[in-house]
Chains A and B, each alone.
Chain A
Amino acid sequence: MLTVMVAAGSLILVASDAAPDRIPSFVTWSAENIAAASSGDAFRGSLLAKRCDHCHGAEGFSPVASTPNLAGMNMLSIWKQLEDFRSHKRRSRPMEPIAESLTPRDVADVVSYYAELPVFPDPQDNRVFPGMQPEAGRAAVAARLVTFGDGERGIPPCQSCHGPVAYRVGVPSLMAQNGDYVLNQLEMFASRSRFNDINLPMRTIAALLSEDERRALAEYYGAGLGLQPAGSSGSK
């Protein structure tokens, strides 16, 4: 009887557990889209980005830890997020109307501006990133996940997609990302309230991570430890 209940409980009905239309994002990485996303004019973008300064910082480093840093982020990943905000595939009360107000050319320009900013923050200007160094035990947990993942559970290493060891098309680098923002996104992926990852990679991985591990990873990236390949520094 117990096994019957366990088997029934372990079933999820993929068809009925969220929004009626289950297309996670309209973005495809076709040659046309990649060309459109990388054809921006960074100077024009720098003028348009004055509107973004207030939240994302004048140099792409946000003054608030829950808002993402955009400095040096790869072009395609910012472009994809703006497109998803535009099509409401990624939900955000401030960002959806802003993205809707941009023309395709504006998006490409802003994206190429942020992609050109240096990833090393000016310590005088920026009080949030890099954050506090995590406690050694937690840093070790995070470094292990970032470098090796957890093969037993099927969790691939973070740095095999998010860099700096390797990148996939459209995947954001987490080199200079704020800890609170990383934690927020991991929790949203795990609870499936963010669902714009094409073919479910982040929803799967975030759900496989424990709550402690998510927090450790957020502290790891928030402290700027992701700037170098994990295992190369003394952080382990």
Chain B
Amino acid sequence: MFTLLALCLIPATRYYQIDEPLLKLLRGSNHIDPLSLHLSGEFVENNLGTEQDADGSVTVRMIAQQYLFVPHCILVPAGVPVHLKITSADAVHSLTLNGTNYAVKTLPGTVSLAELQFPRTGDYKTVCREFCGAGHYAMRSEFKVVPRDQFPALRAGERGACVLQ
């Protein structure tokens, strides 16, 4: 009887949005609003790209959207841990790095985290491996892996990416 009553109350809690704190807890810290990525939070424009961490590793922040990965070319040093944070602004995409085992699915509303490491230098082409619409097959980008000593020293607040060509 009590269970039935509780079940009836669920739609009401959603309607009045008193379950927001609970939802926040369930979603976890990876939740993000895909519509306002560009306004605030860690995926604003000047925070995208490669960030140098204090321990020598790097953090890469990217947005996947129809039909581009942004930034379009990522510059990372070889042989150091790369923490990838990627989210989607619209549909479901999947970042797949050719020549590696890495594939990261990106969902709107969630930040996907992945730990990558590139032992060899070179250009790794990436493709979207989740059908995302009319331009899906042209949705590609590039990871440029350079030797560690050639990776430019970034000051605080600076983010690295390759120049578009």
Binding site for B on A (CB under 8 A): 3-4, 7-16, 22-26, 28-30, 148-152, 154-157, 159-161, 165-166, 168, 198-201, 204-205, 207-208
Q: How far is the CA of A208 from the CA of B157 in the complex (A)?
A: 26
Interface presence of B140 (CB below 8 A): yes
Closest A residue, CB atoms, query B141: A154
Closest B residue, CB atoms, query A29: B35
Contact B70–A7 (Cβ < 8 Å)? no
Closest A residue, CB atoms, query B152: A11
Residues of chain A contacted by B39 (CB below 8 angstroms): 23, 26, 28
Q: How far is the CA of A7 from the CA of B141 in the complex (A)?
A: 18
Contact B133–A160 (Cβ < 8 Å)? yes
Q: Which of A10, A26, A154 has a CB less than 8 Å from the CB of B68? A: A154
State how many angstroms separate the Cβ of A145 from the closest Cβ of chain B.
10
State how many angstroms separate the Cβ of B5 from the closest Cβ of chain A.
32
Contact B144–A160 (Cβ < 8 Å)? no
Given contacts A22-B45, A154-B68, whether A148 and B138 have CB atoms under 8 Å apart is yes
Binding site for A on B (CB under 8 A): 35-39, 44-46, 48-49, 63, 65-72, 75, 89-90, 133-135, 137-142, 144, 146, 150-152, 154, 157-165
Closest A residue, CB atoms, query B126: A154
Residues of chain B contacted by A198 (CB below 8 angstroms): 38, 89
Q: How far is the CA of A65 from the CA of B152 in the complex (A)?
A: 45
A-B Cβ contacts below 8 A, count: 128
Contact A16–B38 (Cβ < 8 Å)? no
Which 9 A-B pairs rank lowest in CB-CB distance, beginning with the nearest? A160-B135, A156-B135, A156-B67, A160-B134, A149-B138, A22-B46, A166-B134, A154-B140, A7-B150
Closest A residue, CB atoms, query B37: A199
The majority secondary structure among interface residues of chain B is: loop
Q: How far is the CA of A30 from the CA of B72 in the complex (A)?
A: 26
Q: How far is the CA of A30 from the CA of B36 in the complex (A)?
A: 9
Given contacts A7-B146, A13-B159, A24-B38, whether A151 and B45 have CB atoms under 8 Å apart is no
Q: How far is the CA of A30 from the CA of B146 in the complex (A)?
A: 40
Q: Mind listing 25 A-B residue pairs with CB under 8 Å?
A: A4-B150, A14-B48, A14-B159, A14-B160, A15-B46, A15-B159, A23-B38, A24-B38, A151-B138, A152-B140, A154-B141, A155-B138, A156-B66, A156-B67, A157-B134, A160-B66, A160-B133, A160-B134, A199-B45, A199-B70, A200-B45, A201-B65, A201-B70, A204-B72, A208-B164
Q: How far is the CA of A160 from the CA of B144 in the complex (A)?
A: 27
Residues of chain A contacted by B72 (CB below 8 angstroms): 154, 204, 208
Q: Which of A13, A24, A161, A204 has a CB less than 8 Å from the CB of B66? A: A161
Closest B residue, CB atoms, query A208: B164
State how many angstroms separate the Cβ of B51 from the closest Cβ of chain A.
10
Q: How far is the CA of A25 from the CA of B49 in the complex (A)?
A: 20
Contact B158–A16 (Cβ < 8 Å)? yes
Q: How far is the CA of A30 from the CA of B33 in the complex (A)?
A: 10
State how many angstroms separate the Cβ of B33 from the closest Cβ of chain A.
8
State how many angstroms separate the Cβ of A37 from the closest Cβ of chain B.
14
